Structure 1
């Protein structure tokens, strides 16, 4: 039971991590593509990775403002639509929203398309759900609604994302304002029985954009943000001496650092990813995830003591010393295994002790009882 619960816990955490990481990839693809294709043609072009134009339940994934004549609202879907009525209402609101311009003002272009980017495995389900609403007259709005599917191809040979327009919905981009040779309506038009597609490689340009945009406009999973904090944010809080010790490996026992969720949020939103909408709750959830891993401990309201250290020994413990996965994906597997081992073997009271200050030695993970597997 415990072994089965552990495996299910790890699979669930990694699945949510991968889904969010793919969401970051999809947003990054379009930021690279649109900036390259239209950034120089339109002086007023603005790609908004973190639109905050409506309340957080309605805000789209990202937007592109070209000029007063044209703009696009984008929304990503990695699963089927759970509450179709709410989604229809949301899309109708998006058809009337204003976009952030290059000058920081909000404005609704004369023509505003809505592009839905759906995982290829789910596009049939999502597409037909929306088609039924459109045919029933429930999704009548001023915007064209364009359905695109995406998938990742060529993992070893020129890895890239492919985006294709689906025929389930009839609408195409109403992009007369775009230059003739670069109209999206042409790039994604139907040729014979097939639709043309856009392929965006995950090359150096992609990696550079993703490095400065590791978050999307959607809330990340606890594991995803925990990995990003460990892999790129905590280092920003080290002193020069601590940074040197961390680089040289002289601090094998780890560097204890007290951080506040609000400080981390400000560091991300203002310096590391300007404009991001990370909030304190996201950070606290990620820090509590790390606490159950045993490398963090809550020391106050929104305050945590981090034991920042090299995790090579822990990788050896889990027989995970080499991997073809990316560095951050590798870390996700390690932290999820560590977290789930404790979560499935220890009681709720003992897990609470991992998070609460002065109640347990976070380095001592042995000798505790098994948990009731209420979650897994």
Structure 2
């Protein structure tokens, strides 16, 4: 593997892994808030895929989640992505949060909204950058700073800890920013101010993957665009097999599919609707995301694009280009499937580069 190929693989794997971490963090709060407040609050509602008509940079606001408590208090969850410059640039982040500050209504059911007395913006930030970002936000929103928001910005740092008996996502208030939850409407003993905030002495919230793995399987994407290899793994494992003939499906299910089956998709809107209605209900997956993902599969030589249609070269196992096919084992975990796609993509992109047709720089945000 050449140096350029290694860089390509490493860069794409980093984006893939960080997005997977974002899914875990979002599903952690899904599990935690639902477990604690669905019984405590008669009208608690957690929205995994909220979308607001307010726009930033011409796109509608899509926070990581919203949570409504008793119609008196609400949280807008915002995940600060390490895949984007905002995790190091508080100015850029706050320009976006100024638009979020205009949110006055949040969902309290799949079909209705409420106007809570108080809404807090909960920022979820990886511990590696949380303190630095918190200090920047504190300076920029302080008495002499250029930003003044009506909603509190509550900064929550997270890390994945594997040193104990069970792996845990750990969440703490980041004290570099001193804004707190305004959740007096919640039961005293179960308020966020007690469980993770000042009133409880800044305790830690721990969530083990076993608590959210079911949700993650059902809702495997966040409310932001996944890297193309990430969505490709889901399409390959969950969507494309539905279009196999019965005998082909049985062979695929049994791990005995030894042929390549051409699956043709010409209506990408229909394919996207299949994703959002049958597989990941209420998600905001966009047709352009699906198209980008199919283009990625073309670059990885797992699909062709001609005359407005995509032909998926579907097989039971995706082989890494440097893998010994005689000794390979069937891998069905998302990370391993994604790695195989990425290695194929980078190998063929390097070959295209040799021919003077490199497109590597076009996908810096994957």
Measured against the shorter chain, the TM-score band is 0.7 to 0.9
What is the alpha-carbon distance in structure 2 between the residues aligned to residue 344 and residue 102 of structure 1? 49
What is the alpha-carbon distance in structure 1 between the residues aligned to residue 284 and residue 243 of structure 2? 20
Q: Is the 8 A contact 1:65 1:99 kept in 2?
A: yes
1:338 aligns to 2:337 (yes or no): no
Q: CA deviation at 1:125?
A: 2.3
Residue correspondences, number? 351
TM-score by length of 1: 0.85
Alpha-carbon spacing, 1:339–1:345, altered in 2? closer, same or farther (3 Å) = same
What is the alpha-carbon distance in structure 2 between the residues aligned to residue 294 and residue 345 of structure 1? 12
Alpha-carbon spacing, 1:166–1:85, altered in 2? closer, same or farther (3 Å) = closer
Of 106, 123, 138 in structure 1, the residue corresponding to residue 146 of structure 2 is 138
Alpha-carbon spacing, 1:304–1:164, altered in 2? closer, same or farther (3 Å) = same
What is the alpha-carbon distance in structure 2 between the residues aligned to residue 292 and residue 103 of structure 1? 38
What is the alpha-carbon distance in structure 2 between the residues aligned to residue 83 and residue 57 of structure 1? 21
What is the alpha-carbon distance in structure 2 between the residues aligned to residue 104 and residue 372 of structure 1? 47
SS in 1 for 2:98: helix
Which residue of structure 2 lines up, in the alignment, with residue 284 of structure 1? 291
Which residue of structure 1 lines up, in the alignment, with residue 183 of structure 2? 175
What is the alpha-carbon distance in structure 1 between the residues aligned to residue 4 and residue 141 of structure 2? 42
SS in 1 for 2:67: strand
Calculate the aligned-residue CA RMSD, in Å. Answer: 2.6
Of 59, 71, 74 in structure 1, the residue corresponding to residue 74 of structure 2 is 71
Within 5 Å, give how 1:1-376 maps onto structure 2.
3-53=2-52, 54-55=54-55, 56-79=59-82, 81=86, 84-97=90-103, 98-102=105-109, 104-135=111-142, 136-154=144-162, 157-190=165-198, 195-203=202-210, 205-249=211-255, 251-259=257-265, 260-301=267-308, 303-311=309-317, 314=320, 317=323, 321=328, 327-347=333-353, 369=355, 375=361
Which residue of structure 2 lines up, in the alignment, with residue 355 of structure 1? none
Q: Is the 8 A contact 1:92 1:141 kept in 2?
A: yes
Point out where structure 1 has 5 or more consecutive residues left out of the alignment: 348-367
Cα-to-partner distance string for 1:244-299 (whole Å, 9 max, x where unaligned): 23224554112211124222210111111111111111001111111111111113
Q: CA deviation at 1:339?
A: 0.6
Q: Is the 8 A contact 1:188 1:195 kept in 2?
A: yes
SS in 2 for 1:50: coil
